[in-house]
Structure 1
Amino acid sequence: MKLLYIANERIPTDRANGLQIMKTCEAFAKNGIGVELFLPNRKTWAMNEDPFEYYRVDPVFTIRKIPCIDLIPYLSFLGPVPYWLIAVSFSLSAVFYAASRKRDILYFRHDPILFWFLIFFRRNCVGEFHFLARKAYQRFFHRLKLVVVINRAAKEKYDAIPGVKEKVVWAPDGVSVEDFDIKLSQSQARLRLGIGEKDRIVVYTGHFYRWKGIDTLIKAASLLPKNILVLLVGGETPQDSPLSKENLPSNIKKVGQKKYAEVPVYLKAADVLVLTGTKKDDRSNLYTSPLKLFEYMASGSPIVASDTAAIREVLEHKKNAWLVSADDARALSDGIMNMLGDSKLNAALAAQARKDVENYSWEKRAVRIIQAVIAE
């Protein structure tokens, strides 16, 4: 079987999208699928990085950069126009190249422009949708061979669309466990990062969007003893992020964007890993499957997480994590202190999470999707 994956994404990128795409392609290829990944020919923040090495992905599939109009360097002058030009020009190129390629499956991650070009490749087009697609897109789901979703809430919504239920495949995101189950002790990880062995460290990784509930962690940090350091490991701060608008407590430290291969060291060095979510935004509460969730589980460090519907699909309170009320800074700070004060409990929860994450490998996810393609 030959699969053509089309993604309007810069790779390597500082966003999780790039990792998810590369790992998905690798998993398909390792399950016997011939994979070719089409990407826009754009400048990236890590242009000199080999994407396979950057994401620790075996070169078992091919990457082809196809033409697009890239005016992102002039964004400050042209407003949103460059984004539209890239989307339209890349979509046109993708359609042209896809039409000239022999393939059994045309696979894409939801893109508001690309979608309208690809739905006309009927019967062999698979769309993967993160967050909830607008109704304008849902009306054309019947044209797709499969609709891949990453959470149960979206599946329930799409199942209700006439003629679509049999096409919807639930496939939450995953992790390469071997990338995060590193052979370092906590002391060795801290030594590598220059962190004191006796320091008490809380770690959050990822971007700092408000819809991810990062404001709750900021407020919780102010309630923690000042000798507990909260490390924020992530990329640039979005304009709508509370990190750019609030005075941060003195025990919060931003360490900046780190390469994929460096993140596991921070997770191993942590006493507690924090995963926030918010019930104020459906993207966070219902329609997400955070990559950091599975990376945390694979690391072997204990997790304190917001009790949202999306997170509860994977984590269970007092079984593999400590869940706290979403949007409640006091509950989050109390949860962190509870885990810091009970080494027996946090070791048990971390061990169970490490065991449970084996069900969320990229390879198992790929098998689920491939089986659905064959069955459809």
Structure 2
Amino acid sequence: MNILFHHRTRGRGAEGVHIRGVVKGLKQLNNHVYILSLPGAEPETEEANATFEKVVQAPTKKSSFSILSDLTKHVPEFVFEIFELAFNLIALIRLRKAVKEKNITLIYERYSLFMFSSVWWAKRQNLPIVLEINDSCQVQRVRALSFKKLAAKIEAWTFKNATGLVFISTRFKQVAEQAYGEIANSVVSPNAADLDKFVIDESSGCALRSKLGIENKIVLGYVGAFVHWHGIDWFVDLVCHRLKQTPELVLLLVGDGVAFEGIKNKVIEAGVESQVILPGKVPHQQVSSYLSAMDLGILPDSNDYGSPMKLFEFMAMGKGMIAPDFSPIAEVVRDNVTSWLFPAGDKQACIDKVFNIVNDRKAHKAVGSNARAYIESERQWQHNAAQLLSLVSLDISRDVNLNG
């Protein structure tokens, strides 16, 4: 099939990883895939450019889309939503052109709020369109909506008229069904990991441990943004009080963000600098070395509908994670088998779980091995691609039955 992956995101971070992963999975199933991104937001080039993050480049002229994107960061929410509505016209023009030029037989779109023109046009053209649902006006969002009723009406129509929907968790699907009743055929497809990118490298992990002076320590790791909704700030605040009682435990927390300075100050205040290593954000190509140096991972917090990318990446590296038992996590994790779960929202239970299993090196190895095997057998991007394509097969079969 000739498939067009359409999205309106910046294509960075977890968004970019997800887009590249699904595209790779579709290609592995012998499809031709084209990405339609906003100019200046090409996720397929971000990964290649990541190697050169620290290279100083000459300033380049920004595209009109980049300027508009920067502008929307500073406008009131209602203005931003008007921009989103207006984008339907731009998307329609670009979609029509891409579909014609590439002879597209399926559109796969990362759903965005207020976006309806793609589904409307595809339906008129009798062209299948599958939506990947990572956002909704029915879930808690960082930016509160000004036109929530309008967003809900558009979303209800879109979810009903698409060929199929791909939800990242069962909970997310339930939220949509409770809000809108009848929706299109759907599948639940949590995140996945690319095993070609997450290769366990024990030699580089050992070298890094030696460099950091933690050769014989138990290393509990975190890789990601230091933001409040991930809970990394309260986790460090609570765990620091008990670290000195467990000198064999070291925290290796990789990344930066708004909570970084507060965490750093807390570590200094508690006098545990030797047990909490904060390297900051590291170059993309070094992330696997840091993951290889860890024994297990920590995910202090999440939400009740999302599918945390870092969970799958740690598991792909043969590292179990201590994670909250929100339903999207519990449906992909077997407690004490592929990772360890604690009651979501119970901060003390999280800390207790860490110290209960910290010295069980045998369990670290066994759970990590099981986690890697699970990713290999069920949660590579090719599995996700097969799920989304099944929606197109279901639609074709339904049409045949109706016409027969």
Are residues 1:257 and 2:278 paired? no
Partner SS state of residue 192, structure 2: coil
Give the gaps of 5 or more residues in structure 1: 57-65, 279-283
The percentage of aligned residue pairs carrying the same residue is: 23
Partner SS state of residue 229, structure 2: helix
Distance 1:141 1:181 in 2: 38
- The question of whether the paired residues in 1 share the 8 Å contact of 2:322 and 2:340 is answered with yes
Are residues 1:10 and 2:5 paired? no
Counterpart among 226, 231, 256 of residue 252 in structure 2: 231
Distance 2:70 2:157 in 1: 36
Distance 1:90 1:168 in 2: 26
- The question of whether the paired residues in 2 share the 8 Å contact of 1:190 and 1:196 is answered with yes
Partner SS state of residue 40, structure 1: coil
Counterparts in 2 of 1:1-376, with a 5 A limit? Answer: 1-11=1-11, 13=12, 15-42=13-40, 50-51=45-46, 53=48, 68=65, 70-73=67-70, 78=75, 87=84, 91-100=88-97, 101-102=99-100, 103-113=104-114, 115-121=115-121, 122=123, 124-134=128-138, 135-136=152-153, 137-159=155-177, 161-164=180-183, 167-185=185-203, 186-191=205-210, 194-226=212-244, 227=247, 228-237=249-258, 247-250=265-268, 251=272, 252-278=276-302, 284-285=303-304, 287-358=305-376, 359-376=378-395
Deviation at 1:82, TM superposition (A): 8.7
- The question of whether the paired residues in 1 share the 8 Å contact of 2:252 and 2:277 is answered with yes
- The question of whether the paired residues in 2 share the 8 Å contact of 1:68 and 1:93 is answered with no
Distance 1:89 1:23, change over 3 A: farther
Give per-residue Cα distances to partners, 1:137-195, cap 9 Å, x unaligned: 13431111111101011223445544425x1111111001232232324423424x644
Tell me the TM-score normalised to structure 2 length. 0.76
Which amino acid is the alignment partner of residue 112 of structure 1? L
Give the gaps of 5 or more residues in structure 2: 52-62, 139-151, 396-404
Which amino acid is the alignment partner of residue 206 of structure 2? S
Partner SS state of residue 112, structure 2: coil
- The question of whether the paired residues in 2 share the 8 Å contact of 1:68 and 1:89 is answered with no
Tell me the TM-score normalised to structure 1 length. 0.81
- The question of whether the paired residues in 2 share the 8 Å contact of 1:306 and 1:325 is answered with yes
* Count of paired positions: 351
Partner SS state of residue 370, structure 2: helix
Q: Greater shift after overlay, 153-162 or 97-106?
A: 153-162
Deviation at 1:96, TM superposition (A): 0.7
Q: 2:146 maps to what in 1?
A: none
- The question of whether the paired residues in 2 share the 8 Å contact of 1:204 and 1:275 is answered with yes
Partner SS state of residue 344, structure 1: helix
Deviation at 1:203, TM superposition (A): 1.1
Deviation at 1:27, TM superposition (A): 1.3
Distance 1:345 1:199 in 2: 16
Distance 2:188 2:167 in 1: 5
Give per-residue Cα distances to partners, 1:268-320, cap 9 Å, x unaligned: 11132101225xxxxx12x1111111111111223222222221111122222
Distance 1:365 1:10, change over 3 A: same
Deviation at 1:259, TM superposition (A): 4.1
Give per-residue Cα distances to partners, 1:103-157, cap 9 Å, x unaligned: 22222112124x1332312252221111444343134311111111010112234
Structure having the higher helix fraction is 2
